[in-house]
Amino acid sequence: MDEGRAVEDAARVAVLSERLAAVRRRIGSAAEAAGRTGDLPTLIVVTKFHPAEDIRRLAALGVRDVGENRDQEAARKSTELAELGLKWHFVGQLQSKKAKSVVRYAHAVHSVDRLQLVDGLERAVAAEQDKTGRGPIDCFIQVSLDDDAGAHRGGAAPADVPVLAARLASADGLVLAGVMAVAPLGGRPAESFEKLAAISSRLTADHPSATAISAGMSQDLEVAIRFGATHLRIGSDILGSRPTVG
Residue span of the structural domain in which 67 resides: 3-239
Vertex 227 angle, CA 195 and 199, to 5°:
35
What is the mean pLDDT of the segment spanning 113-124?
97
What mean pLDDT comes out for the span 203-209?
A: 98
Taking residues 111-129, report their average pLDDT: 96
In-domain check, residue 244: no
| Residue-averaged pLDDT of the chain | 94
User: In which band, very low, low, confident or very high, does the pLDDT at 132 lie, cut at 50, 70 and 90?
Assistant: confident
Say whether pLDDT at 76 is over 80.
yes
The per-residue pLDDT for range 4-22, each reduced to its tens digit, is 789 999 999 999 999 999 9
One-letter amino acid of 37: T
Q: Which of the four pLDDT bands, split at 50, 70 and 90, describes residue 134? A: confident
CA angle 108-110-111, nearest 5°? 130
The DSSP letter of residue 144 is: -
Q: For the domain that residue 201 is a member of, what is the CATH number?
A: 3.20.20.10
Q: How confident is the model at residue 153 (pLDDT cuts 50, 70, 90)?
A: low
pLDDT in tens, 217-227: 999 999 999 99
In a domain, 111, yes or no: yes
- In the chain, the number of structural domains is 1
Question: Counting beta carbons within 10 angstroms of the beta carbon of residue 72, is it exposed (0 to 12), middle (13 to 18) or buried (19 or more)?
Answer: exposed
CB-CB contact of 221 with 25 (8 Å): no
Per-residue model confidence (pLDDT) at position 38: 85
Q: What is the mean pLDDT of the segment spanning 194-206?
A: 98
Cα-flanking dihedrals φ and ψ of residue 61, to 5°?
-95, 5
Q: Angle at which helices 161-170 and 115-132 pack, to 10 degrees? A: 20
- CA 119 to chain CA centroid, Å, is 21
- 110, 141, 155, 183 from 196: Cα distances, Å: 14, 11, 12, 10
* β-pair partners for 214: 180, 231
d(CA 168, CA 119): 9
pLDDT attached to residue 183: 92
Residue 245 included in any domain: no
d(Cα 199, Cα 158) in Å, to the nearest integer? 7
131 in Cβ contact with 103 (< 8 Å): no
Confidence class for position 246, pLDDT limits 50, 70, 90: very low
- Strands 108-112 and 137-142, sheet pairing: parallel
pLDDT of 243 higher than 80: no
- The answer to whether residue 128 scores a pLDDT higher than 90 is yes
pTM of the full structure: 0.94
Name, in order, each residue with C-beta under 8 angstroms of 51's C-beta and a sequence gap of 6 or more.
243
The stretch 26-40 carries a mean pLDDT of 94
Residue 48 or residue 2, greater confidence:
48
pLDDT at position 244 = 61
> What is the C-alpha separation between 54 and 239, in angstroms, rounded?
8
What count of residues does the chain have? 246
What's the confidence (pLDDT) of residue 42? 98
Residue 174's closest CA among 101, 113, 121, 223?
121
Residue 5 has a pLDDT of 87
Look at residue 246 and tell me if it is in a domain.
no
Percent of the chain with pLDDT over 70: 95
C-alpha closest to that of 95 among 70, 127, 73: 70
Compute the average pLDDT of residues 85-90: 98
Average pLDDT over residues 149-178: 89
Binned at pLDDT 50, 70 and 90, residue 130 comes out as: confident
Are 189 and 217 in contact by the 8 Å Cβ rule? The answer is: no
Q: Residues 180-195: what's their mean pLDDT?
A: 93
Strand partners, 67: 46, 89
SS3 assignment, position 164: helix
Is residue 80 situated within a structural domain? Answer: yes
